[in-house]
Amino acid sequence: MVDFASTHYAPHSGAFLTSANLFERAAEAIAAQVALVLCTDVAVVDTRGRIVASNHPTIIGELYNPDAAGHPSDDYWVPLIMDGHSGRVIASQAHQGEVLSSRLLKNVVDLVQQQVNVDWNPNVREVKDTFFHDLLRGELRDEDDIIHNAGLLGFDLATPYQMLVIEAAAYILGSASYQNPQSADVFIRRRAQNIISLVQHVVGATNSLHCVYIGNGEVILLRPCNQGANACCAPSGRAAAPPRGQANCSWTQMRSLQEVARTLLNRLHTSVDSSISLGLGRHHDGIAGLRRSYDEARMAIAVGQRFKHEPGIYTINNLGLAAFVGLSDERSKAELAAHILRALSGDAELVKTLATFFAEDCCPSASVKKLSIHRNTLSYRLDKIATLTGLDPRRFDDAVQLRLALLLTAAGEARPAVSIAAA
């Protein structure tokens, strides 16, 4: 019979966690953070001497032996007591920086444990995971309830966020079989936390960043757009449309997120698993916009992996021709078309030249005759289009993207060329 007084339900897994499981999961966070702060090797062992957590995951589950490969030496250790369970935090001498002492180790462990007691409280961590899972999958409908619960969890809905989805199902879910759901959940949570800890180390752990595990092998990072205080915000946590002239911020802000993603993916591939992919979603207004950002990032991963057959960083504007073929969301296609042509807005001559070049089957001689210009003038204009859009009309894949963008615009599925700058 399950003792519900000492267990907690784990969302999305159907498993109940005992206090022993919670001790192990808290120990994982303590080992990761203490190792990061003190720049040393750390292991947490239980009363039987079994390693339940370490900054080196390969030794978890082994009996602690200071002489074994990968095990930290027993230079320093302090007791760890939590939820009625006890153990030891063992650390080697620091690799660099301040010389480690038992007092310093205890002070750091105490500070980290205080934070862990909050972060790993199932009424905070797991409720936050569940909240984002349900929010991003459209299972929460009442906007007032969403705003209230977000505030309780420290999530400011008035802040414009970009979405980064970490697709790590192969690593987080694994392929091992378990005799009971508890073991499976502990395994999954441990690996998800490994990724979250690495993300926080690379990106920085601040109150404005939210990194959570939402199930199915997906970790999400919500990162503020770093816009002005009133750029995309409205009172009472409700996001409003950005002022005119700032509507394109979702595209321009993607550049900084891509820089972060490149650094993060390199660390994930080096330290965790080389099969991990990242999907980036632009900021979209309002609560529904968060869901759209998530869907956009997931679509980018799905299309990217389908057509490129390799892990990587995917956004709908770096998929090339695959975006127009693989994306099912017509609105995203229309916005992508507007984004591609945005650099040509206000230059009717370049738009006319491009349309004529395609209408004449990309034939230079026919195009110059139709436009009544010199061949060198046509070459100059095509070069300028390539420079402004990053797509060369004389290259097949680039030409197809430009042609589809023009067709979507002309068909009214994207904004007209004269207003592309605000798309």
Per-residue model confidence as pLDDT tens digits over 358-402? 888 899 999 989 989 999 999 999 999 999 888 899 999 888 888
- Locate 385 and state its tokens: 């289009």
> What's the pTM value of the predicted model, to 2 decimals?
0.61
User: Could you tell me if 293 and 281 are in contact, meaning their C-beta atoms sit under 8 angstroms apart?
Assistant: yes
Residue 309 above 90 pLDDT?
no
Would you call 222 exposed, middle or buried from its count of C-beta atoms within 10 A (0-12, 13-18, 19+)?
Answer: buried
| Judgement on whether residues 146 and 97 belong to the same structural domain of the protein | no
| Judgement on whether residues 130 and 34 belong to the same structural domain of the protein | no
pLDDT, tens only, 66-106: 888 888 887 788 888 876 678 889 888 766 656 677 788 88
| Judgement on whether residues 155 and 286 belong to the same structural domain of the protein | yes
Domain assignment present for residue 335? The answer is no
| Judgement on whether residues 219 and 146 belong to the same structural domain of the protein | yes
What pLDDT is stored for residue 22 in this prediction?
Answer: 67
Higher pLDDT, 353 or 83: 353
Gap between the Cα atoms of 14 and 41, Å rounded: 34
User: Could you tell me if 41 and 105 are in contact, meaning their C-beta atoms sit under 8 angstroms apart?
Assistant: no
Number of domains comprising the chain:
3
pLDDT, tens only, 119-155: 555 556 778 888 999 999 888 888 888 888 888 888 8
Gap between the Cα atoms of 219 and 211, Å rounded: 7
Domain assignment present for residue 329? The answer is no
3-class SS of residue 395:
coil
Q: Which of 253, 405, 408, 246 is nearest to 320 (CA)?
A: 405
| DSSP letter, residue 50 | B
The domain boundary, picked from 259, 287, 319, lies at 319
3-class SS of residue 231:
coil
Those residues with Cβ within 8 angstroms of residue 287's Cβ, 6 or more apart along the chain or in another chain = 135, 143, 146, 157, 238, 239
| Judgement on whether residues 174 and 74 belong to the same structural domain of the protein | no
| Judgement on whether residues 199 and 213 belong to the same structural domain of the protein | yes
| Judgement on whether residues 349 and 295 belong to the same structural domain of the protein | no
| Judgement on whether residues 274 and 297 belong to the same structural domain of the protein | yes
The domain boundary, picked from 95, 119, 143, lies at 119
| Judgement on whether residues 54 and 182 belong to the same structural domain of the protein | no
Higher pLDDT, 243 or 170: 170
pLDDT tier at 212 (50, 70, 90 boundaries)?
Answer: very high
pLDDT tier at 240 (50, 70, 90 boundaries)?
Answer: very low
| Judgement on whether residues 313 and 396 belong to the same structural domain of the protein | no
User: Could you tell me if 296 and 281 are in contact, meaning their C-beta atoms sit under 8 angstroms apart?
Assistant: yes
We report the CATH number of the domain holding residue 288 as 3.30.70.270
The residue-averaged pLDDT of 170-182 equals 68
Domain that residue 355 falls in:
341-422
| Judgement on whether residues 180 and 237 belong to the same structural domain of the protein | yes
Domain assignment present for residue 135? The answer is yes
We report the CATH number of the domain holding residue 397 as 1.10.10.2840
pLDDT, tens only, 271-285: 889 999 999 998 888
The domain boundary, picked from 99, 119, 139, lies at 119
We report the CATH number of the domain holding residue 60 as 3.30.450
3-class SS of residue 346:
coil
Domain assignment present for residue 327? The answer is no
Gap between the Cα atoms of 127 and 159, Å rounded: 21
What pLDDT is stored for residue 177 in this prediction?
Answer: 53
Domain assignment present for residue 326? The answer is no
What does the H/E/C string look like for 95-162? CCCCCCCHHHHHHHHHHHHHHHHHHCCCCCHHHHHHHHHHHHCCCCCCHHHHHHHHHHCCCCCCCCEE
